[in-house]
Amino acid sequence: MPSPRDLLNAAKAEITEIDPHEVAKNISHYTLLDVREPEEYEQGAVPGAVHIARGNLEFSVEGRLLDKNAPIAVYCAGGVRSAFATKTLQDLGYTDVVSVIGGFNKWKDEGLVWAKPATMSADQRNRYQRHLLLPEVGEKGQIKLFESKVLLLGAGGLGSPAALYLAAAGVGTLGIIDMDVVDASNIQRQVLHNMDRVGMRKVESAKITLMGLNPDLKVNMYDERLGANNILDIIDGYDVIVDGTDNFPTRYLVNDAALLKKIPVVHGSIFRFEGQATVFNPYVGPCYRCMIPEPPPAELAPSCAEAGVLGVLPGIIGSIQAVETIKLLLELGDPLVGRLLSYDSLDQSFRTFKVRRDPSCPACGENAGPIQIAEYDDLCMPHPVQA
Ligand SMILES: [Zn+2]
């Protein structure tokens, strides 16, 4: 019967070992795989390393390291477990795997870069288990969500479902700007609030609901009117803006400020039985002014008049905004950049329209001058009023 030493020598005979300095020099070339136990990993690891404990390797690795031909450098504490893990990966069909000599101990002793990884508590692992099961999200994506900051413009029809799902998904910071109080006529569609909260500030009501979903959440409340005087300060530092506003002046203001700060805006709008959603990613895709260069006259602008809306409709469009936000935060899939998704609840149909960047756009076009943060008057007329 072979001794453990014989098994190790047999494994080492079939793999390539590499000096830690060689890996450190070409760190962007390799995906690092840490096969130590969770307690070891949490004490310190190579930044960016994928962590799969040796005992879970066979069943987890194919869901985590999708490209079997990508270069992988495996490390453990001292170079023994990584040698066996490297052999296992080769047996599973990975073609370019090396084992780091001396493991993390040597890495650390020789002064190479390491850090204490951001990790999830047992409670968080349980709460976000359905995300962790998705290789495209996983622990790395979930931690990214914890560290993300999303600003919601309005705690109304669209902001309600978007905020509920973003909080539930584990987004760490939600900013909410809304200067209204909860009115009984809101409850038909604004599901952040309820009848007990009629008369309460909307930002307060939103915070109570969202903290119930996610006690780790940080809520920044802005109980004020969004204007040219404060928008740049408010949006600063947010990763994504979810626009649930219902009027043209604010949308132009948000567009221009977001271009200036290069923050993507997930836009949604609703009218009667129809809704639309798209993503304005500054200088990557079209902006709001590329899509709607001039506001319609006030009498034709549905948002400036009182128009009815089916109560469920914002639930659908706001949820689509939440999906697009998470995709942007995690760089997943194909965002609605340059595409307008249009939903008709009576037909029960979705359609997508192309929206192109306008080379002569006054805000993001090639010859656009410096962006001015100015407000439009309440009549939705295209005459800027300097703040
Ligand atoms: Zn534009």
Q: From ligand 1's centre to the CA of 260, what distance in Å?
A: 12
Q: From ligand 1's centre to the CA of 255, what distance in Å?
A: 9
Give yes or no for a contact between 72 and 87, defined as CB atoms under 8 angstroms apart. no
29, 192, 195, 385 from 176: Cα distances, Å:
41, 12, 20, 25
pLDDT for position 383 = 43
pLDDT for position 296 = 76
pLDDT for position 282 = 96
Q: From ligand 1's centre to the CA of 140, what distance in Å?
A: 33
Mean pLDDT, consecutive 10-residue stretches, the chain (387 aa), reads 91 95 95 95 92 94 92 97 97 97 97 90 95 93 96 97 98 97 96 98 98 96 95 97 92 95 97 96 96 79 70 97 98 97 98 96 90 70 42
Q: Which of 134, 126, 160, 127 is CA-nearest to residue 315?
A: 160
Q: From ligand 1's centre to the CA of 362, what distance in Å?
A: 7
CA distance 40 to 265: 40
Q: Which of 182, 185, 187 is CA-nearest to residue 204?
A: 182
Q: Which of 132, 116, 103 is CA-nearest to residue 47?
A: 116
Give yes or no for a contact between 367 and 360, defined as CB atoms under 8 angstroms apart. yes
380 labelled catalytic = no
Give yes or no for a contact between 329 and 148, defined as CB atoms under 8 angstroms apart. yes
Q: Buried b vs exposed e over 117-143: b needs ≥16 C-beta within 10 Å?
A: beebeeebeebbeebbeeeebbbbbbb
Catalytic pick from 76, 287, 290, 304? 304
Q: From ligand 1's centre to the CA of 108, what distance in Å?
A: 49
- Cα 284 to its chain centre, rounded Å, is 17
CA distance 108 to 256: 47
Rounded to whole angstroms, the maximal C-alpha distance in the chain is 89
pLDDT for position 302 = 60
CA distance 78 to 65: 23
Please spell the DSSP secondary structure of 205-239, one letter per residue: HHHHHHHHH-TT-EEEEE-S---TTTHHHHHTT-S
pTM of the complete model beyond 0.75? yes
CA distance 17 to 181: 65
Cβ partners under 8 Å of residue 274, min gap 6: 313, 342, 343, 344, 345
pLDDT for position 374 = 84
CA distance 102 to 76: 8
Place of tokens 């109570």: 208
pLDDT for position 386 = 43
